Structure 1
Amino acid sequence: MLKNVDKNKSQYLHSLSQHPLIHLLPDGPLGNQAKQSLLNKVSLTQYHKNQHIFLQHDQVNYLYFLLSGVVSCHRQLPNGQECIIQLYDKPNLLNESVLWQYDIHDSQLHEQKKSLLSARYAVTQHTQSKQLQLLLNQGNLHQLTAKANQTSIVATLPVSDYFYWVGKFELGELLTWFTSQVSKRLYQHLLSSDLLTFQSAKAKVSYYLLTHFPPNTSFVLPISQKQLANQMGLRPETLNRTLQTLQQQRLIERQGEHFSLLDITGLLALIND
């Protein structure tokens, strides 16, 4: 079958060239140079049924384009549950939800982002909370696992090369900023759907707190408890009672409207129950 991939390589590359991420790059000498350079960096891989294409929490180094076959993407939660998020049975980009979380190699922006991540996700240095790294959107990490449902052809393109060329064009930075906002919203939707899969109120509340706020840092809930309860699929009184229980167990602390996370390991244990 690999011979067939090589034999049809020009056909696959032509199909890929029609994808909007490549086809809609500006016309002209620079645009044509960018398109050809990107296509030259493409690798084609054949995946057999049930073979993984990429795994949740793997580093994002490539864009993955399905060219033929069927691929499913699912998300695994800390308690072992798996949820099918998307089924692809037509040519398409497989990892669009994390595409724009990739670090742009602008030194000033990179340092700002690095500082922000260091402050927000300092918990990942905690020796007993490595599992928490799998809950956090640290950027550059796949949030889904992709698996071939039948023999499939997938093209990979280095993300760094794509961003290099996007940055060459006028409005490239604006496009990157805009789509990064979309990506963040997609991630928030993933977290919201995760919440609905947990059965116990303690698990729901713990998961929400761990994925939205850093430990030992005071924070205020961004929405009312009534709105938050609706998002979690809980009654407001159940949410209030659960927060009180977590306080009594010294897992969180509350002073007025301000909260802080005290026991990361204990909150993680509630998620895994």
Structure 2
Amino acid sequence: MDQPEVDWCQYQQHIETYKFYIEMAVKIIGLYFAVSGAMLSFYFANTDTEQAKLALYLPWLIGIGLSLFFTTGAVLSVVTRDDVFKLREKLGLEVAPETGVLTLLLGIFSIVLVACVIGFSYVLWSTPANQNLANEAYIPLNSGIRAMSEAIHWADYVSAIGIPVIALIGSWIAFRQFQVSRNKLKHDLFEKRLEIYEAVRNTLGIVARNGKLTQAEEINYLVATRSAKWLFGNEVYLYLDETLWDKIVDLGLHNSILEGPSSEEKKQHAAARGETMKWLISQHSEFDALCAKYLKLRH
């Protein structure tokens, strides 16, 4: 495997890993909010139970762990971004997915999680576990209501801010994924075009070396170029299907006549064969110029 292929494999691996990390980060934060919401609902529905507050320790601990995890991931993702942009330059691509979005996303998630942990800490250590006045007569009722209200306000604020932020990030990710898909399409199209280009060059090389094509070699040419109609512009398709193919047929006719007995017609075909060979040999550069704009990853 040559270096460009190695670079492209590394580039694709980075992109696939980037998409996987984005997907997993969104799923993890979504699952965390689902668990946190369930625990908060359980707590506020059972504030008269002493052990209800214990349910909040789960999202509190998970929040601490995930905030550290996302912070570490945000720092490490900077290295991946540098590698992706270096490979983009090597491969001559116009754009590359902005993997800095992953860094930004992980950073935002980490900040949100820290806010959640602070909120849970407030509820755990500042809000009485038992809001029942009969059981906790020494705690003023309005104090308990105020604490619960503040906790609810905190949850509302996080939800109100989190939803549009996640929506904006999702839109940006979708746009970048579109660009990644477009580049992949360009690369796939480039490979298919290159196969046709190399087949035609190989045919011209055989003609230059041997002065003729066997029937099998002519069939190989037709098979290799039959999809050119959909992969190249009309000018390339007409060149391969008519102009070049007609000359290949002419060469075969001239060669078959020259194998027969000497005659005036044979002399004419010998001269015509020379002109045909001269034309075919000159087509290396002509064909290169014709295909140049289609054989660029920037196209």
TM bin, normalised by shorter chain, reads under 0.3
- Higher helix fraction: Structure 1 or Structure 2? 2
- Higher strand fraction: Structure 1 or Structure 2? 1
* Structure of larger gyration radius: 2
Q: TM-score, normalised by structure 2?
A: 0.21
Q: TM-score, normalised by structure 1?
A: 0.23
